[in-house]
Amino acid sequence: MDACTDQPDQTPPPRGLWLPLITPFRDGALDAASLRRLIAHYARAPLDGLILGATTGEGLTLDEDELERLVMLTADALAASGRRLPVYLGLSGSDTRKLTKALQRTARWPVDGVLIACPYYTRPSQQGIVLHFEAAADASARPILIYNIPYRTGVNLHNEAMLRLAERANIVGVKDCCADPAQTAELLRLRPPGFAVLTGEDALAFDALSRGCDGAILASAHLETEAFAAMMHRLQAGDRLGGTTEWQRLADLPKLLFAEPSPAPIKHALWRRGLIDSPEVRLPMTPVSAPLAAALDARLWPGRSAA
């Protein structure tokens, strides 16, 4: 089998700190130079994986050619960096047939797994969601990470259905944004061995990791990546005091970065830091407001006036 095809038994379930990477644009097009710069930067950071083309990556605005180019450019940039960093691809939708075709179309792309959100807007039954993910698991041998985020999709994947899906060999975990601590705690208690639970709630990351989540997928970790990793590692090592100290330095950052629709605030900060050449987002996303831009600059460069 081709090295880029799906072999889940060779890829451990996701753990640690993952970054849902932004997709840089310039003048309406994918910005390859900025993407290479981003990959070179984050390849040196204490990250455990990247996710491409998901919500933070404005994946719903990417056409098929752009998505493929994003994947290929990332693979080339990672190879140039010398860092073997797992990469998952965001592939979601409300039409199960289209999703399975997308999985088949991308089968030979150089990614290690896929992140799939629950079907959005249509609000199917729990049985419908299970059948949706089972069809995805049948269509691809790649590891699948479920994305459960009911406040975006309109439907919550309950633990009974989640545990049914966890029986599938290539459904390896969940990006948990259910916003219900009791549901997360129950899942952590009942999940089978090897099924990963990663929090995707930036503002609640400390609490989720303290409860025993295996890691986090945090858009906020585009900034102060080392501090987010240190917080997670301290908590996982049982050092709650040290983790609390790290978190106290970070807790205001997710609030700023999500004060307006993401990823515009993140892109502004990355642009100001010179990591991308433009803070451009695609409609219906819009650039950050002037007050938020000033607040971000003040947070990231205390005592320094905005340029």
Distance CA(59)–CA(97), nearest Å, equals: 19
Residue among 42, 88, 147, 267 flagged as catalytic:
147
Taking the C-alpha atoms of residue 80 and residue 74, their distance in angstroms, rounded to an integer, is 10
Length of the chain: 307
Closest CA to 117 of 97, 86, 84, 94: 94
16-20/144-148 β-pairing: unpaired
Positive or negative: CA dihedral 277, 281, 282, 288: negative
| CA atoms of 216 and 236, how far apart (whole Å) | 12
Candidate list 42, 175, 255, 267, residue with the active-site label: 175
d(CA 223, CA 287): 18
98 belongs to the catalytic site: no
Q: For this structure, is 147 an active site residue?
A: yes
Return the residue matching tokens 């089968």: 107
Q: Which residues are catalytic?
A: 147, 175
